[in-house]
Chains A and B, each alone.
Chain A
Amino acid sequence: MQAEDVRKRFGRLEVLKGVSLDVDKKETVCIIGPSGSGKTTFIRCINHLEKIDSGKITVNGHLIGYKRRNGALVEDSEASIARQRTEIGMVFQRFNLFPHKTALENVTEAPVHVLGVSKDQAADDARALLTRVGLADKYDTYPGKLSGGQQQRVAIARALAMKPSLMLFDEPTSALDPEVTGEVLDVMEELAHEGMTMIVVTHEMGFARKAADRVVMMDEGVIVETGTPEHFFDAPDHERTRQFLSKIL
């Protein structure tokens, strides 16, 4: 994933003031920063849930959301944006599971109806994925009957079912009770160790320290500092980072 000078404004408020970030294959990058710093907006731009005003984002070398026409960038067609998104998994703060479908159906929905995988094949894959996230006994349970931590693990399985090459996590544990954040973070950590490329917006510094290859600090729409977790938590360069870390650690 490469982002080059991404800018985005909501009305008069400039949320992203030129963000550039490269994430290599198999790398796990955590984005931290105070609320309002633009980190959530930034990862929503990566799968074009938000349009960008300037700059460009590429995933696997493909331009996301836009195409070149006569040298200028114009928004891509709905069909090709949808196709680009199949390569990018996303996990939301509030899970956004489909409440009218069982855990298994949540996971099989997109492979069957977007990728055209056969129902049996998709169900087999989904059972394997749900087992992997520790929900082997919840195939036929509706989201309403699952705890927050279980729902988020279904959401991770749902995203993985598309076999994405990049996973985006938007504060995946912020809406969870403290005692269940662990079960979600464990799944994510495992994923990181298996070599998934991940961009994680999080306030979980423990996770960032353990699982991240790099940590990115954002504030007021720009990247303030980037570094390895060790560098970051032990000897940050910037005053702003120090202030932020001292508040939350």
Chain B
Amino acid sequence: MLAVVDWHLVWMRIAHPDHVFFRALYTTVYMAVIAQAMGVLLGLLAALMRTSKLAPLRVLSGLYVWLFRGTPLLVQIFFIYYGANQLLGFTLVPNSLNLGLFSLDGAVVAGILALGINEGAYMREIIRAGIDSIDRGQMEAAKSLGMRYSLAMRRIILPQAARVIVPPLGNEFNNMLKNTSLVFTIGVYELFADAEILYSQNFQPVEVFMAVAFWYLVLTTVWTIIQSWIERKLGASERGDDVGFFERLTFTWMPRWGQVR
């Protein structure tokens, strides 16, 4: 059976990528990074709004999560790309966005917006859980020292919550890297589009999609390594624990080995 696979083609896609491929890879990565950053900011904002004294803000935060977690991401992508300008009555999604050093295509802008706004809804829940996990006494201690809520949040609560937030945040970014493949549907030339277009020319699905799956795997693997490093940084100072970098990696990939130590 395996003999049918054109291994040479797979190998070429993996070992000898062309510059068009690298542009696509680059697009995937920066879209994921910007959208995730946006998701974290929106999620933080929504999480803080959720505990606000002002009822409208609390309601808004709830509506946001309800709406963007309750509808398909693909629908949101299409809606924002094709419908947002019309709905809002102003240009949220421009034809192209010139940022000086580089310019973004309108579809890329729409894709980032959709992925980021969608992500914010999930991040709100993660950040909320992180904040809630911190003992109430921490806020009280901060206040008793004369700190205001915002300062206590920034200096005392959020740095501690980060330790709880980062592992699920890593999961989210892993998903984000893969979810960017959806924006090929509105014409963004990213990793999956690169594969899809080649496939439409040579009709060799096994080779083309095997190769693109490999590249996604590379991205998520690199991310796993970066995440282990971040978690180590966050965890080490506080607990003074000595879980090494490679131990933590091992734990990520082979939990049962990790536990034996």
Contacts and interface: CB of A to CB of B under 8 A. Distances in A.
Interface of A: 47, 49, 78-79, 82-83, 85-86, 88-90, 92, 94, 96-100, 109-110, 113-115, 142, 144-145, 155, 158-159, 162
B155 A113 contact: yes
B146 to A, nearest CB: 4
Contact of A79 (B138, B140, B148): B148
A45 to B, nearest CB: 13
B159 interface: yes
B232 to A, nearest CB: 15
A92 B141 contact: yes
A145 B155 contact: no
Ordered nearest first, which 5 A-B pairs have the shortest CB separation? A86-B146, A96-B141, A110-B145, A96-B137, A90-B144
Contact of B160 (A100, A144, A145, A159): A100
The listed residue with most A CB atoms (<10 A of its CB), out of B135, B146, B156, is B146
Contact of B145 (A78, A94, A114, A142): A114
Nearest to B140: A49
B238 A142 contact: yes
Contacts of B141: 90, 92, 96-98, 155
Contacts, number: 73
A151 B146 CA distance: 20
| Chain B interface size, under 10 / 10 to 19 / 20 to 34 / 35 or more | 20 to 34
Interface of B: 135, 137-138, 140-149, 151, 155-156, 159-160, 163, 237-240
A86 B148 CA distance: 11
B144 A144 contact: no
A90 B143 CA distance: 10
5 contacts: A83-B146, A100-B237, A109-B145, A142-B240, A144-B238
Contacts of B145: 85-86, 109-110, 114, 158-159, 162
Contacts of A47: 144
A114 to B, nearest CB: 4
A144 B239 contact: yes
